[in-house]
Every structure is written in structure tokens, then in C-alpha cells.
Structure 1
Amino acid sequence: MIKEWMIKWGFGAGFSAISYYIGWSDLMGFLLVLMLLDFITGIVAGAIQGKLLSKTSYIGILRKLLIIFVVIACHIADLVLISEHFSIAGFEINSPIQLLAIIYYIGNELISIIENAERGGAKVPTFIRNRFETMKDKGDPQ
């Protein structure tokens, strides 16, 4: 029979390994929270509009998973390609490629949350909408 300490040790070792390859940071945690908020606001907006589809939700989850894989790949690229750490404005940057990817995806998630809120009928202040529209216009064409 598996003892409780074996399960706890297994989970601890597993999450440590995952954390190493993901390159966990506060920004990564922030990105995951925004991804969850985007998913929830998308469901709420779809329900309000009467367009809540399980296939659309499923595709949204798969896209979020792909984003996580891109961020992981960027961190692994940092581990392999970059041997020096950078310091910018007093902040230690261990994974510059991953950092840029996370910042890009954080911007996308914020834009999507605002769009979902507007689709659901929530009023978004003009200065916020304008700021994110500017970011959207300057981003990569999709």
C-alpha cells in the first residue's frame, strides 16, 4: 500500500521538476491568473450573449495550453542558450526570452479580458479601452 508520505514526496518532486522547466516566476503566476480570468470572462460573456458553446471553450483551453508550452520552450531556450544573467534597473533577469514571451501574452490576456467584459455588457472606462486598443494595434498581426 502506498503511504501518505510517498505521495507527498512524489508530488513535491514532480512539482519541483515542473517548476524548474517552466521557470516559475511571479509573472508566470500572474499570466496563469490572467488566463483563468480570460477563460471565465469568456464563458460569462458567451452565456450573456446566448453563445456559450462547449467546443469554443475547449478550443480556448487548448490555446491556453499552447501558450504555456511556448513559455516553457522559451525558458528551456534560455537555459540552453544564455549562460549569463542580466540585471536591468536593479532586477535580476534569469530568463530574458521567457520574460519577453510572458509580457507579450500578459498583454494579450488583458486585451481579451477587456473585450470579454465589453461583449458581456460591462462598461469599460474609455482610458482603459484606449490604452489596450493602442497595445493591440502595435502588437504582432495575427
Structure 2
Amino acid sequence: MEQIFKWLLTVSGGVIAFLFGAWTPMLNILVALMVIDYLSGMAAASMNGELKSRVGLMGIARKVFIFAMVAVSHLVDLLLIENKIEVGYLAMSVVITAYCLNEVLSIVENAGKMGVYVPETLTKAIAVLRSKPQKEEEKPVAPSTLEVPAVVAPNPPIVTAEVKKEEKEEIK
């Protein structure tokens, strides 16, 4: 039994090392923020009478997928490095940073749902970040500002070698 445990630990360590490279402080921060977000979300839902196991399981599934995205970004970095495109681990760093910022936003939102004071400037910033860009209302165009497309002949004449020979004879 002990041998099986050691073997499983070794294999899982190898898989993690392949998918994420060296375990970095950025990954530690992401894990910590994910745990805090999940726990604060559970607390907020519990306090508001909205705690549901299905929603909690979907939250866990999202967190697992975040790690899948981080792994993919690490593999992209490896692909770039293998092709002599030296950018370090840029893709992985950007993806981890984006998810960390998203987790921070979610934690602040959860705090607000629990009744914890959140400064107004922070709530406005979160509202702006969370809002979807609105489509500009289409305004009628005045006739004088309409652009008229250039007229293009549907079938332009095809110049062939025969036509060129005829032209040469006419010139002589």
C-alpha cells in the first residue's frame, strides 16, 4: 500500500510539474485567492439564504477550469520557447494575473453581499469592470453624409494576347 501511495505521489508530482512548471509564488497567490473567494462566496450565500450545493459544485468546477487555463498558458509558453520566441513565461503570468484580479473582484463583491463595508469608489470601479459594453445606439444618417460607393463594372474586359496582337498591327 505504501508503494502505491509513493507511486501516485510521484506521478501526480510529475504531471503537475509538466502542466505548471515550477510552482511559483504567483500560483500560491492564485490558490489563496481562490480559496478565500470560494469560502467568502459560501458565507455570503449562507447569510442571504441562497446556499445551494449545486451552485457550490459549479464554483469548484470553475476553479478547476481556471487551473486548466493556467496549464494551457504554461504549455503555450513552452511552445514559444521551443520555437526560439523568448518571452519568458509571459502567457502564464498574464493568465494568472488576470484570474487573480478576477478573484479579488469576486471577494470584494462577496464582502458587500455579507454586509461588510466596501468604499463607494471600489464599488463603482467593480461596477464598471463588471458591466458589459453597451452597443452604441444607431442614429439615422442624414442623406448629405451618405457615402456613395464607386461604380464598378460587373465584368471588366479581359485583355488577351490576341487583342494585343491586333493593337500592334493597327499601330504599324
Normalised to the residue count of structure 2, the TM-score between the two structures is: 0.65
Q: What residue identity is the alignment partner of 2:18?
A: Y
Could you tell me which residue of structure 2 aligns to residue 20 of structure 1? 18
Could you tell me which residue of structure 1 aligns to residue 141 of structure 2? none
Could you tell me which residue of structure 2 aligns to residue 8 of structure 1? 6
Larger radius of gyration: 2
Say which structure is richer in strand. 1
Could you tell me which residue of structure 2 aligns to residue 53 of structure 1? 52
**In terms of mean alpha carbon deviation, does 8-17 or 65-74 score higher?**
8-17
Is the 8 Å Cα contact of residues 37 and 107 (structure 2) preserved in structure 1? yes
Q: Aligned-pair distance for 1:35?
A: 0.8
Higher relative CO (Cα under 8 Å, sequence separation at least 6) belongs to: 1
Could you tell me which residue of structure 1 aligns to residue 105 of structure 2? 111
Aligned length: 130
Unaligned residue ranges in structure 1 (runs of 5+): 87-93
Q: What residue identity is the alignment partner of 1:21?
A: L
Question: In the alignment, does 2:39 pair up with 1:40?
Answer: yes
**In terms of mean alpha carbon deviation, does 22-31 or 38-47 score higher?**
22-31
Could you tell me which residue of structure 2 aligns to residue 121 of structure 1? 115
The residue correspondences of 1:79-90 to structure 2 (distance < 5 A) are 79-82=78-81, 83=84, 85-86=86-87
Q: Aligned-pair distance for 1:21?
A: 1.4
Unaligned residue ranges in structure 2 (runs of 5+): 134-172
Say which structure is richer in helix. 1
Q: Partners of 1:109 and 1:119 in 2: how far apart?
A: 15
Q: Over aligned residues, Cα RMSD in angstroms?
A: 2.4
Structure 1 segments of 4+ aligned residues over 3 angstroms from their partners: 83-86, 125-134
What fraction of aligned residue pairs are identical, expressed as a percent? Answer: 30
Normalised to the residue count of structure 1, the TM-score between the two structures is: 0.77
